[in-house]
Amino acid sequence: MFRVICVAGMPGCGKEEFVKVAQERGLAVVRMGDIVREEARRRGLKFSDDSVGGMSHEERVRHGFGIWAERTVPNVKGGVTLIEGIRGREELEVFRRAFGKKLVVVAIHASPKTRYGRILQRGRGDDVLSWEEFQRREERELGWGLAEVIATADHMIVNEGDLDAMRARCEAVLDAISP
């Protein structure tokens, strides 16, 4: 079976937990953020939200807002593959053209307060640290059309509870869309 599952959500919503559940099922995973971070490494950029996020945005402006999706498509090899990190409607359109009816979109939602707390706890190098930085990142990603992707997703997971509840929701969605 060939199927592509795009996972969308604001930073800190729980996309990574969905990825973990999918990997436990043996699904292939392609992270769009890894492709962005690899480009940042190639350019010798410092890993911060401003530098990596800024470079990512500059590439979108220069090459079109679907550029990161175009760079992701060749990494999808077949079977059931999860693409994590879709950020906008143009990216979604690239994936729809590439995968057609085999594409399913899953959105994960959590409140800004919940997400900010998670971001502070995870301590990734390109994460924001202040509430003001968090808000700037929110505005930037919403400006790419992420809200539209979330609003039109085929499946929605609300992640405001504990980890066990989130994992159960992920399992249920994956049961509904993959063998």
- pLDDT in tens for each of the 179 residues of the chain? 799 999 999 989 999 999 999 999 999 999 998 999 999 999 998 877 778 888 988 999 999 999 999 999 999 998 999 999 898 999 999 999 999 999 999 999 999 999 999 888 887 665 667 888 888 888 888 878 889 999 999 999 999 989 999 999 999 999 999 75
SS3 state of residue 29:
strand
Q: What is the model's pTM?
A: 0.88
In a domain, 179, yes or no: no
Domain range for 144: 3-12+47-174
Predicted pLDDT at 78: 86
In a domain, 27, yes or no: no
- The residue with tokens 């480009």 is 39
From the list 157, 170, 112, 103, the residue with the least C-alpha distance to 137 is 112
For the beta carbon of residue 26, count every other beta carbon within 10 angstroms: 9
Rounded to a whole number of angstroms, the CA Rg of the chain reads 15
- For the domain that residue 138 is a member of, what is the CATH number? 3.40.50.300
At residue 106, what is the residue type? V
Predicted pLDDT at 142: 85
CA distances from 142 to 55, 97, 137, 150 (A): 17, 22, 8, 10
Q: Which residues pair with 158 in a beta bridge?
A: 109
In a domain, 33, yes or no: no
In a domain, 25, yes or no: no
Predicted pLDDT at 87: 87
| CA atoms of 126 and 48, how far apart (whole Å) | 4
In a domain, 28, yes or no: no
CA angle 117, 6, 115 (to 5 degrees): 5
In a domain, 26, yes or no: no
| CA atoms of 64 and 30, how far apart (whole Å) | 21
Q: For the chain, what is the domain count?
A: 1
In a domain, 23, yes or no: no
For the beta carbon of residue 64, count every other beta carbon within 10 angstroms: 14
Q: At what angle do helices 15-24 and 163-177 cross, to 10 degrees?
A: 60
